[in-house]
Amino acid sequence: MRKFNGYQRGVNLGGWLSQRISTEPEYMDSFITEDDVKRIAGWGFDHVRLPVDYDVIEEDDGRPVESGHKHIEDCISWCRKYGLNIVLDLHKSYGYMFDKGAVPDADRFFTDQALQDRFILTWENLISRYGSDHDIIAFELLNEVVNPLYTEKWNDIADRAIDIIRSHEKDAIIILGGVRNNSVLSVPSLRRPRDSRIVYNFHCYEPLCFTHQKAYWVDNSDFDLTYPGELSEYIEKSRLLGEDDIADVIEELGQTSGVEFFEKIFAPAIDYAKKMDAMLYCGEYGVIDRAPAADAMRWISDINEAFAKYGIGRALWNYKEKDFGLIDRHYDGIRDDVIKTMVISNES
């Protein structure tokens, strides 16, 4: 499988231009600064993933919001200065977002031609502005498609977006993920890449019962789990969260942790990527700050070993806050080990 060079070890800048807790200029100007980008580069990372919501850069009628674009431009400038690449991720489109309740009737996006046209226009605007920076930017079409009923419709919409991007920049890297919240098990549902610069994308928080324990936005998650943990408890909690396929993997392997678990769930995506001669990228992975820190470290070590074995690029969720922040207090005792694990696992 081809390796996604330049995007092997990264971190997300979530909470800044996407899923903001404030729209005040003071917040936007201070949440991420040049010093943060300098720190990330100093750790030895090679890229950042920059989630962006459409309403940071566009009015509802499609007119540009220049103050929002200024933040993207600043990030590009800082990353050039410190030698980092960027994944520019459209986290929220007009009419669609993965987050329940963030957009009323989000599935309408897949049946409403006007919403799809607006999505294409957003990408035409983005590639027109930032296509010339494709030497350090990879363009991620949409953060997470949820409903598997729209697998083929999403493929159709993605093809249109790829056409628009290619009409402006034929050499731009385009990152494309599948349904079920960008599940690694959905990668084989994506179409054959039309060229060598299409990258298959997934997110991995498996087992979700560990990485999202006590997450206030996840139903039935108010419990405590260690990593590794009791087999029966992991199977029970995975099924409780609707992750029957993950429960089946745990039951078949007879273990709740280890590199073998990740190799097992990655296998269909890796096989498909090899067959399609495509690269793989994990745009999000991480452990909530309600899990024991030492157990989070073990999970991060295991998944990074699996990533490194197959040359899968990745970006940790999240640099700051959003319940997963690497620089937040919860990670004080293990931060250096997390960073070392991410950087060293990529040196081979």
Q: Which residues are catalytic?
A: 144
- The DSSP string of 177-226 is E-HHHHBGGGGGGSPPPSSTTEEEEEEE--SHHHHTTT-TTSTT------
Please give the structure tokens belonging to residue 84: 């980092």
Residue pair 144/182 in contact by the 8 Å Cβ criterion? yes
- Distance of CA 185 to CAs 66, 207, 262, 300, 306, Å? 38, 13, 12, 20, 16
- Scan for tokens 């078949």, then name that residue: 252
DSSP letter assigned to residue 52: E
Residue pair 139/174 in contact by the 8 Å Cβ criterion? yes
Give the burial string for 85-121 (b: 16+ CB within 10 Å, else e). bbbbbbbbbbbbbbeeeebeebeebbeeeebbebbbe
Please give the structure tokens belonging to residue 312: 């899968």
What phi, psi does 161 have (nearest 5°)?
Answer: -65, -40
